[in-house]
Amino acid sequence: MTQNAFFDDSWLKLQRDYWDGLAKMGSQAMGMESSPASNSAAAPWLAAMEQWRKALAPAASDPARDFMQRLMDQGQAYFGLAEQFTKGLGDAGLGQGGDTTRAWDWLNQTIEQMQKGFSGIGADQDESLRRMLGFWEMPLDNWQRMMSSLSPMMPGDMLRNMPNGMMRGPMQEGLEQMLSAPGLGYSREEQAQYQDLMRAGIDYQRAFQAYSGFFNQLGVKALHRLRDQLQQKSEAGETINSARGLYDTWVGCCEAVYADEVITPEYSRVHGQLINAQMALKQRLSIMVDESLGAMNMPTRGELRTLQDRLQETRRENKKLRQELDQIQRRLATLPAVAPADSQAKASTGGSTTSGTSTGAAKKTSARKKTAAKPSTQPDAS
């Protein structure tokens, strides 16, 4: 057990009491029965935070609720990091004024353990370590959220939780061989479409695995960077003496490693493959949806797209003509008026339409001025 009771008792109790108080206050404010907030002995503040969020979220506006969630998530990451380091050091009896060599050993062991976590080894990490590693899930989590918003039919994490090795080795070869078998009989085309869809799904999962694999490597590099930076601070006689300082150092390391790596051609390739695979999968789904709509004698997306293109072409032409006509009218309006007698003489010979046009243009110009004075002028109603 720990040699520093503060980490086990005082600090956790302090947090638990505080968060329990907030949770109770929040629940009462919402007219709800308060429930015990700190169910988890390992991270009472985490349970309290969650309880608090649940109590307050229904009363918040959408942006505020989303924002609140982000604050909670980051609060968890922030506290989690502090917990990982301070509690770890405390447990090992290496708090303030402890044995420096042993402290470095502890740090190296912790970093090694975290590296295993990034490599998928050691599934039995403690909760605080998982939260710290979870920080590196953020870019992937952003992708999943975005993916879900684009494909309601296919939740973002649908393919994510397939076992890592599933799309490799003999199983993959067998599946791909099966999917390359030609369809037979009356439904041959339909079979081929399903095969294409499944192939696209496999390609997407492979691309996603490559993408998340890239991030796992970055996580390991960020840990190296953290160790190097702590070493540099040590040599420079600097110390981190706040949880925020530790958190900011960790974010700085992650961001610096990320910036170095995502500018590389390798990342460009992995990123491109992920987007392309996602789009190819979505395209296969769209083709099948269109097929079904067509079979029901309903307009398809493809047909609508064709109509949109044609309509836009016509509108473009109309607007251009309207603009040219406008310009001509404006120019005509600036020409000096022609004497009626002269114009009549010309009109009788059929030689010019200047007079008529000029008068017409003047009227139109006047009408245009009125129109122009009104807001909301729509030059083309098509």
Partner 1 sequence: MFPIDIRPDKLGEEMLDYSRKLGQGMQNLLDAGDIDSGVSPKDAVYREDKLVLYRYQRPAEVAQQETPLLVVYALVNRPYMTDIQEDRSTIKGLLATGQDVYLIDWGYPDQADSSLTLDDYINGYIDRCVDHIRHTHGVDKVNILGICQGGSFSLMYSALHPDKVRNLVTMVTPVDFKTPDNMLSNWVQNVDVDLAVDTMGNIPGELLNWSFLSLKPFSLTGQKYVNMVDMLDKPEKAKNFLRMEQWIFDSPDQAGETFRQFIKDFYQQNAFINGTARVGERPVDLKQIRCPVLNIYALQDHLVPPDASKALNGLTGSEDYTELAFPGGHIGIYVSGKAQKEVTPAIGEWLNAR
**Amino acid (one-letter) located at 73:** D
Among 16, 20, 51, 52, contact with partner 1 (rule: CB under 8 A): 52
- For 103, the token pair is 């402290």
Whether the Cβ atoms of residue 193 and residue 186 lie closer than 8 Å to each other: no
**Separation of alpha carbons 15 and 38, rounded Å:** 10
Q: How near is the Cβ of 191 to partner 1 at its closest, in Å? A: 23
Residue 334 binds partner 1, judged by CB under 8 A: no
If the CB atoms of residues 119 and 231 are measured against partner 1, the closer one turns out to be 231
**Binding letters toward partner 1, positions 222-261, x by CB under 8 A:** --------xx-xx--xxxxxxxx-xxx--x--xx--xx--
Q: 343 to 372, contacts with partner 1 by CB under 8 A?
A: 372
If the CB atoms of residues 352 and 365 are measured against partner 1, the closer one turns out to be 365
Counting Cβ atoms within 10 Å, is residue 251 exposed (0-12), middle (13-18) or buried (19+)? middle
Q: 117 to 136, contacts with partner 1 by CB under 8 A?
A: 135
If the CB atoms of residues 144 and 357 are measured against partner 1, the closer one turns out to be 144
- For 1, the token pair is 């057990």
Q: 24 to 43, contacts with partner 1 by CB under 8 A?
A: 26
CB count in 10 Å sphere of residue 4: 20
Residue 98 binds partner 1, judged by CB under 8 A: yes
**Separation of alpha carbons 257 and 106, rounded Å:** 23
If the CB atoms of residues 4 and 115 are measured against partner 1, the closer one turns out to be 4
Q: 303 to 322, contacts with partner 1 by CB under 8 A?
A: 304-305, 308-309, 311-313, 316, 319
Q: How near is the Cβ of 286 to partner 1 at its closest, in Å? A: 7
If the CB atoms of residues 98 and 122 are measured against partner 1, the closer one turns out to be 98
**Separation of alpha carbons 68 and 57, rounded Å:** 8
- For 87, the token pair is 């509690």
Residue 60 binds partner 1, judged by CB under 8 A: yes
Among 32, 42, 71, 367, contact with partner 1 (rule: CB under 8 A): 71
Quick one: which H or E segment has residue 141? helix 138-150
Q: How near is the Cβ of 167 to partner 1 at its closest, in Å? A: 21
- For 164, the token pair is 């890592």
Task: Output 8-15 pairs: Cβ under 8 A, ≥24 positions apart.
Answer: 12/44, 15/44, 15/45, 15/48, 15/79
Residue 211 binds partner 1, judged by CB under 8 A: no
Q: How near is the Cβ of 345 to partner 1 at its closest, in Å? A: 34
**Separation of alpha carbons 143 and 149, rounded Å:** 10
